[in-house]
A and B are shown apart, each in its own frame.
Chain A
Amino acid sequence: MAGGGGAPELYQPLPGGPVTPPAGNRGSRILAPLRREGGRGVAIAVVSTVVFLTLVAVAVVNSTGWPLIKEAFFDGEIFADAFPKIVEKFRRNVFIFLVAEVLVLAVAMVIAVLRSLGGPVFFPLRLMAAAYTDLFRAIPTILVIALLGFGAPALQIKGLPDSDVFWAIVALTLVYSAYVAEVYRAGIESVHPSQVASARSLGLSRRKTLRFVVLPQAVRRVIPPLLNDFIGLQKDSALVAFLGYTEGLRQSQIIQSETFDFTPYVALALIYIVITIPQARFVDWLVERDRRRRQATVGV
């Protein structure tokens, strides 16, 4: 290995130019030590990473079980055939979770607000909201999907839809609204009472105080945990396969049973990874943008 410590060639500037501090908080924890070390530290990190990954790859590929693993999980031909088919059906998941997410944002907000209403008059509403959250956080999502997806159409009530997609969206909305309501509530309760006093002393009503002062601050604070729940919801859209509805997972299952190969599952896993990571970076960017706008870059 050329140059363990301070070989001159390691001082060469990186193609990316000077090291800029990462924007997100998430990345900085990994990259922070590099910033302290400067250009030399980055160079060492790059070389050691390449060497490390190469060693791991060589070790894996040369192990005795590799050909078997490769055939069962990473079959190129099956992948090429299955991937477009799975993507095609995965669009159904996207539709389900996008609609559910929009509904969850609204339903959860209503529940959180009901739960944070003060005063004895609102006791029944608070109780209802609390009962709702307790109930739907307790029942496994797959059970709610089964209950509604199989149960509701079995009633054969006129006007009640019997579409799998419809009931899947309802089930996911019910379950995830319970989680997200709690996230919102934590946000609402994190807004200091002095903010409310301040708004009320201007003569703003309870309602306007909530709308203009409490909720905007609460929602900003809970964006990261909100993403957590949305990623959970997106993954749980695969549970709709249980109803026999051909979405991404069901499609992978079908191909798997035809080929006796697990590559289609890996293909689906890949799709989930690819859609999740940009969302995480987007939220990092959002939080950072908000922080920057509100605070001076140099200490106050």
Chain B
Amino acid sequence: MSASGSGTALILDDVHKSFGKVEVLTGVDLSVAEHEVVCLIGASGSGKSTLLRCINLLEPIDRGRVLLEGEEITARGVDLNRIRRRIGIVFQAFNLFPHMSVIRNVTLGPMEALAMPRVEAERLGDELLSRFGLADKRGDYPDRLSGGQQQRVAIVRALAMRPDLMLLDEVTSALDPELVAEVLNVIRELAAGGMTMVIATHEMGFARDIASRVCFLDQGVILEEGPPDEIFSRPQQERTQRFLQSIIEAGRM
């Protein structure tokens, strides 16, 4: 699966972002083709999460542009809600709504942001839940579910908006090791279905397996990018080599 989509889904053009005096993103350029899966790797604090939050406009950027299917979404006067409906994001800590049952978590977006009638939203929600093996959990509250189940529900919740683009922010980092696989399998299925995704991850094996392209983020810029085989086998930059070396030493590859 290579980057041979019909068009460009996402373009980041010289994106800068600071929190106070700390410059987290110092000029990120990235272009993601439709149906492409881009994995962002890099040490903690390298700006992976911030980058994803900037893409779906949870954080305003200081400089540069973000284009979604040709539209500049970081321009002034753009309706944030309209853009966010087209971009699904899944967080490390699931962030399900604890006061709502699973099915309500899933139907809230379609019903309240897309004005979809309840019957239709529930049909869509049930369909997605059963596709990801969660049909029997529809009436449960999030606290009753395992971490893996919660994260799958969070993915279903994002998918229920029928997004053009999915952003996954270290979605397996908060999970017990034995629960990681069930979530990764869901993401594999999405990739196979042609979903355009930008994935921040620490799972190098998974990145190697699923990514059409891997980007190594370091000190707020994409230092090196390329097909997974190239990045993981023949990294050119010294910092990339050091990062991958430390991952190997930690036994996570």
Question: Which residues 202-228 in A have Cβ within 8 Å of B in the complex?
Answer: 202-205, 208, 212-213, 216-217, 220
Shortest beta-carbon distance from A291 to chain B in Å: 10
9-residue interface stretch from A114-122, A145-153, A158-166, A193-201 = A193-201
Question: Which residues 63-115 in B have Cβ within 8 Å of A in the complex?
Answer: 80-85, 87-89, 91, 93, 95-99, 108-109, 112-114
Contact A201 B58, beta carbon cutoff 8 Å? yes
Known: A294-B143, A296-B144, A300-B143. A197 touches B99 (CB 8 A): no
Contact B99 A203, beta carbon cutoff 8 Å? no
Which residue from chain A places its CB closest to the CB of B142 in the assembled complex? A294
Contact B93 A202, beta carbon cutoff 8 Å? no
User: Does B130 interact with chain A (Cβ within 8 Å)?
Assistant: no
Contact A212 B108, beta carbon cutoff 8 Å? yes
Q: Which residues of B sit under 8 angstroms from A216, Cβ to Cβ? A: 99
- How many A-B residue pairs have C-beta atoms within 8 angstroms? Tell me: 75
Listed residue (A198, A204, A208) with the most chain B CB atoms within 10 angstroms of its CB: A198
Q: Which residues of A sit under 8 angstroms from B56, Cβ to Cβ? A: 201
Chain B contact patch, size range: 20 to 34
Which residue from chain B places its CB closest to the CB of A194 in the assembled complex? B95
Q: Which residues of A sit under 8 angstroms from B88, Cβ to Cβ? A: 201
User: Does B202 interact with chain A (Cβ within 8 Å)?
Assistant: no
Listed residue (B84, B99, B113, B161) with the most chain A CB atoms within 10 angstroms of its CB: B99
User: Does B132 interact with chain A (Cβ within 8 Å)?
Assistant: no
Contact B89 A295, beta carbon cutoff 8 Å? no
Listed residue (B80, B87, B95, B146) with the most chain A CB atoms within 10 angstroms of its CB: B95
Q: Which among B98, B112, B146 is the interface contact of A208 at CB below 8 angstroms?
A: B112
Interface residues, chain B, with chain A CB atoms under 8 Å away: 53, 56, 58, 80-85, 87-89, 91, 93, 95-99, 108-109, 112-114, 141, 143-146, 157-158, 161
**Top 5 A-B residue pairs of the complex, sorted by shortest distance between their CB atoms:** A203-B85, A202-B109, A203-B113, A198-B95, A203-B84
